[in-house]
Amino acid sequence: MPPLRALLGFLSLAVLHVVCASAILSPREPSAPGIPFTRTSAIDVLNIDEDGTFDLEYFVNITLGGQPFTVILDTGSSDLWVYAPDANINVLNSSQLTANVTYGTGSILGSIEFAELRVGEYVVPSQAFIHGQKVLYPWLYQIPGTEISPPARRQAFIHGQKLGDGIPNGVTGIMGVSFESDVQSEVTGAIHKAWGESNTLGHTVLSNILGQNSTLQPFFDLSLSRAEDLEGGDTNGALIIGYHDLQHSAVALAPQVPRVLDNMWTGYIDGLTINGNEYPFSPSVAPNTPAGKLVSVFDSGSSGMVLPRAMVEAIFAQIPGSIVVNGTWYAPCFGSVNLTFTIAGQEYPVHPLDISLPSRHTSVSKSGQNTTFTVCKGVFQGLGPDGVNGADMILGDPFLKNVYASFNFGPANAEGDHSGTSGSFLQFLALTNADDAWLDFFLTRAAVLALLFPVAIDPVLLPQLFPADFGAAETATATNLTTSPTSTAPAPAGRSSVAVAGALGDLSVEDAPVLGSSGAASTSSALDKYGPAVVGLLGANLAAMVLLCVVALAICTRGVVRGGARARSVDAAYAPVKFREPKPEAGYDPEYDAPGLRYGE
């Protein structure tokens, strides 16, 4: 029989479920449109949309040749391309040139053409872009050197309105916002090769916008929210070109992180702490990197973090009950870790919500029945010893959600482009308060699991319940970490055994071992230990239950659960981009929500 504190925690979550469901389904006043910034006439803010279910990628709406498109915003590439065979794009000129952009296991082949581009309030009269003719699904699920091979179905050709498994319908291309160079931009390189190095027709989108608006400073800022936050409002992030948002203007005073590798948004990582303890860095794969530092790519087009394999294992070794199956990590849904990166001497905590994501999975049980359940997949992939594209790691959206990031090109060259050959740098402003994040984590994860997902199963139980898919599971090996002078108590981590017991009554869940970093069995769970602390000792008395209902109602109706210390001031001057409609259950791909990672070679 489950212990009393587990029962109280379960009842607490049940009340949270009922109250939140009532608040969401009941009519209420709409939130003010806008995004979480104070807007002034001097700031141009573009809505960025994200997948509202699995926190995959970030999109921006553009108008190209009079036709609207939704494209992925990518700091890891430079070209603009669309694939829309049925769209009547008003093409101004065709270059008779072709470009082939390769994304590892995918690519796009098309003609280089020119059309008017509108991005927010900015208008580029003639923007070079790739008009896709043949597209091999370009969304990478395997970085060179990683452990996970992409299923063949993810290499399907894009056709019509469906881009293939893994990308939401309606997304028709990519808008790169990296550096302009013959190496990074296929469009620029092709035009320079055909018409001379001094030709400026192949400018990237941001080179054109910055060059045509002399009042703009040569940088853009990104602020990405997370879909799992129970926040008010409909918008999910901001792209600001040429100005800092007033609420985050302190980013201008943040230490500058010089670009390390040519043609990519890269910088040195000074250190990493896991549960307050320093992780020892191995030598960098990048030449001339100072001892004790690593080089990272900062890539908004990557929906996960790609780290050295040993580093990934060290992270999950600190989350009891985690397993790895063929390179994919699974953690208990109520287990996480305190993860902090140090960059240019500043600490940037990662929210516990950004360590793993809830994911539906369908598998055949030992009895031969198809069962749909929830697991929480880690957002990390492991790299081999050679790194990726000359860097040691990629910090994608899970990191960028925790900072207000400014990408500064530095001065333009004589041709007016931003090649990033000198003077470019990044600046980061931390948005996550590590002390407040754990309460946010437990409340938010509990509500999201209760409202949106089927029963969650602890990873440690998966091999015995579903041996066909999880029989090869392994646990993490402990890593010797250096105790930091400022280290805090290890982050709570555990498993959601109560939910499993309720769904699988014939299984003795409480007797199942949970393997910690040393491989030893542990009988505690995060829900047993921390559930009452998070939502109150429900059942102790009636007053506690009433208080919980009030708090839950406030969370669901007013959006008081926030990611870190992010402010929520909105302006009603323009319409927001709303969350995407969830995928129809009938067409659901159980592997759709794998934490897909991509990077353009």
Q: Which residues are catalytic?
A: 74, 299
Helices (H), 453-565: 462-465, 467-470, 497-503, 526-535, 542-558
CB 567 within 8 A of CB 127: no
Nearest to 264 by CA among 387, 177, 173, 192: 177
- For residue 19, CA distances in Å to 53, 74, 229, 352, 554 come to 21, 38, 17, 24, 10
CB 42 within 8 A of CB 243: yes
Strands 271-274 and 339-343: antiparallel
Question: Which residue is it, tokens 């049940």?
Answer: 14
CB atoms within 10 A of CB 194: 13
Three-state DSSP at 477 gives coil
Angle between helices 526-535 and 434-452 (to 10 degrees): 100
Direct distance between the N- and C-terminal alpha carbons of the chain, in angstroms, rounded to an integer = 54
DSSP string, 130-174: EEEEEEE----S--TTBSPPPPGGGGPBPBTTB--TTS-TTEEEE
Question: Which residue is it, tokens 């323009």?
Answer: 574
The strand ranges marked E within 2-120 are 45-50, 58-64, 67-74, 80-82, 93-103, 106-119
- For residue 501, CA distances in Å to 393, 489, 491, 498, 509 come to 39, 30, 25, 5, 6
